[in-house]
Structure 1
Amino acid sequence: MATVPPLLPRPFTRDACPHGSWEVVRALPHPGLRPGVRGYRGYRMDLGHGRRRLELPDACVSLVFNLDAPVWVTLGTQPDAPARPYSLLVSGLQTRPTFGEHAGRVEGVEVLLAPWAAFVFLAHPMGDLADRMADPVEFLGAEAGWLAEGLYETDGWGPRFALLDITLRSWAESSGARTSEPLRRAWGELAGSGGVLPVAELARRTGRGRRSLEYLFREQIGLTPKTAARVLRFQRALRLVNHGGRPLADVATTCGFSDQAHMNREFKAMTGRPPRQFLSERGAAPPGPAGIDRVTGQVTSVVLPGGISRS
């Protein structure tokens, strides 16, 4: 990645409650960090009640710094399974949903990464983070804590995003990991196809043997090409289903599923519910930060009834 010079505070867009109970802000990183760093997201909420969100596989690696109370996270499709609190969190590529809960008061910053860029920053095989969440200190050591402290002590979203730019530049320059150009090209081809490009054709286009490509994907993406394609295909179906107006069978055909039953099974595996229930819950979400997806242009979240009273 290109060297990023010291920067003035980054510009951002802001969506906020007129009564001041929540705000969500978004910013693009410096061009020298793109496209590996997809975006920054800041959030502050003081809702007066708990909030529970269903988070869906989104083909991103997330680096999260909760600067106030922790968020409680449950992996899998059972919301009553044991939850773990996270102040700092790194989430690899997921093939199943997660539940995130907080008691109503939360503030933090999220960095959204292409998986191959996360491989560079973390300098660790991404397969170790597949379907897993962890404290980033496990991979970054004290650097993760120093960044969290810097974000906490920095006033204003623009300066916080500028700090992220400078820190990520430093991590990229000091990392011993380097991403493979054929791997980056393969990921771009697969994502651009919505997950329907056959693995054999993907290998041919990138000039790698199938086994070599699968090794690179496991190391620098975290999933095999076939599994990564499942997530990308699911995300495309989510967008089409969420827009409404198209028969589910038509969505299934468009997105490369063998039939509607195949798509329904994937929805159940990756959301814990069939498409119609997903649409019903998504439509029932209250206005405000609850309905704002984490990744611009994707469907990533559903707000569910209830919430925790943990503090």
Structure 2
Amino acid sequence: MSAEYVSVQPPVALRGRVLRLLGYREHASAPRRRRQPAAGGVALILGLHPLTLSGPALGTATADAFVGAPSDTWVLTEFTGPQAGVQVDLTPAAAFTVLGGRALPGGAVPRLEELHDPTLAALPARLAAEPTWAGRFALVNALLAERLLDPRARVVAPEVCWAWDRLLATDGRVGVAELAAGTGWSTRHLQSRFRDQVGLTPGTARRVLRFGRAAGLVGRGREPLAGIAVACGYADQAHLTREFRALAGLPPAAFRAEVFASVQDLPPGPGQDRAS
């Protein structure tokens, strides 16, 4: 497979809300499949070519430009031939504002044209007409800044932001009752507002973020799985394995092997370019 990846930091004013912008151009002569396990962030995919998505929550669908909501399940993507576009990684709070004051249901993967947002839906075509990565990133950043820096924009409640930040900082290892106490809300009110503005309940977000830490440890090294289970707060290795089957679609050993097999295909970090 031939590929070019360009990853950049967002403008200073957008950092903390926009996590990364990744430009990509690939060509696969044979079907290329990637696994997207459960995750708490939001991926805005401004793609220029269709790919196939499949998973337990959505069945099978075809899309080029879409949004991946926070999810407690996994998705497979597959394509043959060309693939190009820009991926924007957003916090749930930033996605809420970019999408006009709404959170997508957990696990949703709507195509941009399904969001009834003509400006956003038209962005991939504008990217296709722009010849340089710098120009494409400028178009994306302009739209993000227009929405995220607008003082009139709808934003996530401060209490929900605080609860999300606590979950993120602890990799999900804080109870919902403790979160509610920290916000001054009842547990029921926090659960309702959090779900409405993030797309997941606080309990599901806890599960997903804890899994995210475990998936990072499993995928990056050779630490024994039993040790990872303990470090991430699982009861034992069997509990870890059950979570991987549910949230990634395969057991941790197979997940690790899949990550190692595809390591050369991973995009670079911010500020790095790579062509192969």
Same fold per TM (> 0.5)?
yes
For residue 152 of structure 1, the aligned residue among 114, 128, 142 is: 128
- Given that residues 51 and 101 in structure 1 are in contact (C-alpha distance below 8 angstroms), is that contact kept between their aligned partners in structure 2? yes
1:88 aligns with 2:69: no
Q: Answer yes or no: is 1:75 the counterpart of 2:55.
A: yes
Aligned to 2:139: 163
How far apart are the structure 1 equivalents of 2:105 and 2:44? 12
What SS does the corresponding residue of 2:38 show, helix, strand or coil? coil
CA displacement at 1:98 relative to structure 2:
0.5
3-state SS of paired residue (2:29) = coil
Instruction: Give the aligned partner of residue 49 of structure 1.
Output: 30
Q: Please say if residues 123 and 139 of structure 1, whose CA atoms lie closer than 8 Å, have aligned partners that are also in contact.
A: no
Instruction: Describe the SS at the equivalent of 2:257.
Output: helix
Following superposition, the deviation at residue 175 of structure 1 comes to 6.7
* Equivalence for 1:299: none
Identity across the alignment (%)? 33
**Residue type of the alignment partner of 2:6:** V
Measured after TM superposition, the shift of residue 225 of structure 1 is: 0.6
Letter in 1 for 2:117: G
Q: Which residue of the partner structure matches residue 273 of structure 2?
A: none
Once residues 23 and 90 of structure 1 are traced to their aligned partners in structure 2, the CA distance between those partners, rounded to angstroms, is 22
Cα deviation code 1:130-157 (max 9, x no counterpart): 1111012332521123212221111211
Q: TM-score, normalised by structure 1?
A: 0.80
Equivalent-residue separation in structure 1 for 2:197 and 2:74 (angstroms):
22
**Preserved contact between residue 51 and residue 104 of structure 1 (Cα < 8 Å):** no
- Partner Cα separation in structure 2 for residue 110 and residue 39 of structure 1: 8
Q: Is there any run of 5+ residues in structure 1 with no aligned partner, and where?
A: 1-16, 297-311
Match of 1:283 in 2: 260
Distance 2:90 2:238 in 1: 32
CA distance in 1, matches of 2:232, 2:162: 21
Q: Offset of 1:284 from its aligned partner?
A: 2.7
**Paired residue for 2:218, among 224, 229, 241?**
241
Structure-2 change in CA distance of 1:132 and 1:175 (3 Å) = farther
Say if 2:101 and 2:153, in contact at 8 Å, map to a contact too: no
Residues matched between the structures, number: 269
TM-score by length of 2: 0.90
Instruction: State whether structure 2 residue 117 is matched by structure 1 residue 141.
Output: yes
